[in-house]
Structure 1
Amino acid sequence: MLASTAYAAIDEESQFVLNTFSFLIWGALVMWMCAGFAMLESGSVRTKNASAICLKNIGLYSVAGLTYYLIGYNLMYTDVGSWIGSVTFLYGPSADELALLSGDETAKASVIKQNYATMSDWFFQMVFVATAASVVSGALAERVKLWSFLTFTTLLTAIVYPIVGAWTWGGGWLNQMGFQDFAGSTIVHSTGGWAALAGIMVVGPRAGKFRSNGSVKVTPPSNVPLVTLGVLILWFGWLGFNGGSQLALGSVSDAVAMSNVLVNTNLAAASGVVTALLISRPPVRAR
């Protein structure tokens, strides 16, 4: 019989590196969801509107990145009271991190105590903001012009989303009442959904959606392969969205929990597909 092997506990610096790497790699995976939304939406609309949809998705990601850097993150996480955080501009590395980058090795211990690099957390949170805006993009497809949508996105990502986030992940009043949201089902998806509903109520239905007698005019997807590609990219991206929400990869328990999250996410997606196939008639039958 082989003797049992004793493994040394992971040191704090390795925990810092693994946690930071987790934020960055999962954040990059969530960023890839922007491509999934673009493919899904552009393939679902009429061909003449596909290019506008693609431009909107690139634009919203750019706007979200800038606004969340300028004011959104501080409003959501810095000095949060019960309702909002600090109304200050710009966010950056901690003083200890800047000192370390300047060659001051004495700052290393303080940086390691943070458990992760400051800007890695910002990056991971930023891609969540962009996802909330992408929910609105899909709902308002073929309904609004580019600059109107980007203006709406600016308000959503700079003010609305950060305030909702401050109530919860930022430690505000909802968090103080015991509210929990592991991966943004409310903060990201409900906020995006409510914003989309508000936009729909203002702008109304798509042009040509209803006939003169009030009946719905069905408009099939213009490019089914693009829709399929978008769905698969989003499926892939959601593994990072939910898995990264463990927010750490510096211990055995974190690794086990993250593995379970990825498996559950995949099972949920697969179950949804199979359920839809069972209860709905496929649009195209094999011959």
Structure 2
Amino acid sequence: AIVLGARIGKYGKDGTVNAIPGHNIPMAIVGTFILAFGWFGFNPGSTLAGTDLRISVIAVNTMLASAAGAFAAMVYMWTKYGKPDPSMMANGMLAGLVAITAPCAFVNSVSAVIIGAVAGVLVILSVFFIDSTLKVDDPVGAISVHGVCGAWGVLSLGLFADGKYGDGWNGVKGPVTGLLYGDSGQFLAQIVSIVVNFLFVFIASYLFFKLLDLLVGNRVSPETEIEGLDIPEMGVLGYNEDKR
């Protein structure tokens, strides 16, 4: 997003932020539920063994966090702006799913709800901060959903892991236990992993896309961007409006 730059018309000359709403909110909601459904294969499936009874805990935690994320986002938007924003509710659900991915096997149900609810509010704060303060145009909130809430999920494992699972995980003796259950070491390990992952991914991605931009370019022409990519890229309109 940094290398690509903002869409035409996103920011005014005085720095004002202009909203560019999505063209089909119902389809976005459907897509969100498709993703949520897929997460039940993603998280429980990561146990790699159906005989591991922890798979049921993972599935329940995944469901609870996603619901808590959507609910928290709805309540926040309704309280602060007077309307429940469906697009933010969708992002809240995805934020809950992303946040619970790391700790899903290591926390209890109450912690899963807390993790998801925090993610549901965090994603909104992050979207507005990145959009208005950092002036980075992120149309779908991917940085906030996957980056910020992903980092929160990794950190939350170091907070809420209850010490009932993970003995021998990655060759380490003893179950995974978080700070709130008496183990500060796991919390510190999670912080280190967040910092290392952020630095590696940011630097590597920036260099790659910067090089790609210099060699072949990342953007379409301004004319194509204004016209829309349907005809130039696909040859047909996504919505064939009758202009008679």
Deviation for aligned residue 1:256: 4.5
1:51 to 49, 56, 80: 56
Verify: 1:66 aligned to 2:58, yes or no.
no
Deviation (angstroms), 1:35: 1.0
How many angstroms does 1:33 deviate by?
A: 0.5
CA distance in 1, matches of 2:22, 2:150: 30
TM-score, with normalisation over the residues of structure 1?
0.47
Structure 2: gaps spanning 5 or more residues: 1-20, 175-225, 236-244
Could you tell me which runs of 5 or more consecutive residues in structure 1 were left unpaired when the two chains were aligned: 1-18, 75-86, 93-121, 215-250, 261-287
Q: Counterpart of 1:37?
A: 39
Flag the 1:58–1:30 CA change in 2: closer, same or farther, 3 A. Answer: same
Q: Give the SS at the match of 2:80.
A: coil
Mark the CA change 1:156 to 1:20 in structure 2 (over 3 Å): closer, same or farther: closer
Alpha-carbon distance between aligned partners in 1 of 2:125 and 2:233, rounded to the nearest angstrom: 28
Q: Deviations over 1:31-63 (max 9, x none)?
A: 211111111111222531222222222222322
Matched residue, 1:184: 141
Mapping 1:65-214, distance limit 5 Å:
65-71=70-76, 73=77, 88=80, 90-92=82-84, 122-158=85-121, 160-169=122-131, 172-175=132-135, 179-203=136-160, 207-208=166-167, 209-211=169-171
Shift of residue 146 of structure 1? 0.9
- How far, CA to CA, are the matches of 2:72 and 2:173 in structure 1? 44
In structure 1, distance between residues paired with 2:129 and 2:72:
19
Change in 2 beyond 3 A, CA 1:256/1:164: farther
Superposition pairs of residues 6-25 of structure 1, within 5 angstroms: 22-25=24-27
Distance 2:232 2:129 in 1: 25
SS of 1:32's equivalent in the other structure is helix
Structure-2 change in CA distance of 1:193 and 1:255 (3 Å): same
Match of 2:10 in 1: none
Residue 254 of structure 1: how far off its partner (Å): 5.7
More contact order relative to length (CA 8 Å, sep ≥ 6): 1
What CA RMSD, in Å, does the superposition of the two structures yield over aligned residues? 3.1
